[in-house]
Amino acid sequence: MKVIKFGGGCLKDGESFIRAVSIIGSSREPQAVVVSATEGTTDLLVEGIREAATGKDVTARVISALMEKHGALIHHSISSEEIRADAFRGLQEKTGRLEKLLTAVSLACEVSSSLRAHILSYGERLSALILSAALRSAGIASAAWDSDEIGMVTDETCENATVDIEEFRANIAALVPALFESNAVPVITGFFARTPRGKISTLGRNGSDYSAAAVAAALNATRLEIWKDVDGFLSADPDLVANPIPIRRLSWLEAAELSYFGAKILHPRTFEPLAGMDVSVVIKHFLEPQSPGTEILAEGIETEDVVKSVTANGRTALLRIHGSGVGFKPGVIGRIGRGFADHGINIRSVITSQTCINLLVDKADAGRSLEEMKTLANGIVQRIELKDDIALIAVVGEGLLRRTGVAARVFSAVSRAGINIEMISTGASEVAAYFIVGKNRAAEAVNALHEEFFGKRG
């Protein structure tokens, strides 16, 4: 059993859907498919929600745009007139429901997190409908399934929710005969699920990777193929480094660290549902299906120079909490963590000294983080400093902590480039070391490191 996932960049026009059908049809083993929304659809819905919440009546415009876009996909990817007509009816039915939800937002001039999640889920509902119909038109038995219908349950959080894998596994087990009836290929919506109370929950932007992994875990799949519009992981971002090297094999830990620290290939939480399982995760290039892509296995291998990739994340802010006893007094970090969690702020990393607690947060949360710290400040906290003109540079590779001299090469390379390192963290991960530089020097730092470990490219 394998699970195939197609990202939005792979589902942007009629030819893309036909290509996806060909990829699915070339496999002879049992398979389930998970899909993202078509390219640009989630952005359209996000913008529609934002404008509707101000009282603007944008419903007709959004629905018209969705009908035009997805209607064209149906027309170009489905040859059977009967199946095409059925797909159009399904499109009208789903956009009709969406229309009511958007109207409710514009009338109330506000949107709850659960209603927002419900509206955003329609991108995936529409793409699953069309791909399943395109499969049937090509003679491949298939049905579209919404993830909330097949029992993908999360915690009570409606945004960036966590899937309850054990409950999902129990729920989907009863549906397996229906999902794969007559060797059908189920096409399942990614990105969203439902809370225990039945509300729609989303799994975060690009969360279809995460939900595909949850489906793979629940179905006890041995392989998860994630099809993207890129050829897997690279030794660096091609926007920063000329001709980076494709990485053909990574460990789960290495891939997770790269995703977390800036590589945009996978959702950082993709590997959570697969813990304890023997599942091969393969990133495949949608336009070059014969390319091996990147295979990601539970166990890693150490290369000669250890380092496999260098990343930069400019979407990071540093919050420094100064005080003579902040690193000594018990409970300070716990109180900060609880306060941030209550406001939905994720702390990426904590580095402490006797007189300073350093918190790395997403740049989008920088302002809220500063305001929250002001409410938590007491006699111990003397000064709070926020820096958002920084970049987080990560060096990732199996054996990073074990191999002598790697850290010295990393920091020597950056020093030779004349770049000041503002903060360093090593040892928190077995496969990653990271440090902070000024955002305007991030590209130079990445290139200096890439040249050190991979030679000059270009």
Boundary-marking domain end, from 205, 229, 253? 229
> Are 210 and 327 members of one domain?
no
Q: Tell me the C-alpha distance between 13 and 38, whole Å.
A: 8
> Are 78 and 193 members of one domain?
yes
**What average pLDDT does this structure show over 37-44?**
95
Helices 442-454 and 406-416, axial angle in degrees (round to 10)? 130
pLDDT tens column, 169-225: 999 999 999 999 999 999 999 999 999 999 999 998 779 999 999 999 999 999 999
Question: Domain holding 415: CATH number?
Answer: 3.30.2130.10
> Are 219 and 319 members of one domain?
no
Of the listed ranges 35-39, 98-102, 367-371, 373-377, the least confidently predicted one is 373-377
Number of structural domains in the chain: 2
pLDDT tens column, 229-244: 888 999 999 999 999 9
Q: Are 262 and 360 in contact (CB under 8 A)?
A: no
Boundary-marking domain end, from 182, 213, 229? 229
Q: Which domain holds residue 382?
A: 310-454
pLDDT tens column, 3-15: 999 999 999 999 9
Residue 259 lies in a domain: no
Question: Domain holding 198: CATH number?
Answer: 3.40.1160.10
pLDDT tens column, 331-342: 778 888 888 888
Of the listed ranges 62-66, 92-96, 261-265, the least confidently predicted one is 261-265
pTM for this predicted structure: 0.89
pLDDT at site 378: 65
Boundary-marking domain end, from 229, 257, 281? 229
Q: Please check the confidence at residue 382 and state whether its pLDDT lies above 80.
A: yes
Residue 59 lies in a domain: yes
Number of Cβ atoms within 10 Å of the Cβ of 98:
23
> Are 318 and 186 members of one domain?
no
Q: Are 216 and 30 in contact (CB under 8 A)?
A: no
Tokens 């819905």, located at residue = 45
The overall average pLDDT reported for the chain is 92
How buried is 452 (Cβ within 10 angstroms: 0-12 exposed, 13-18 middle, 19+ buried)? buried
> Are 337 and 190 members of one domain?
no
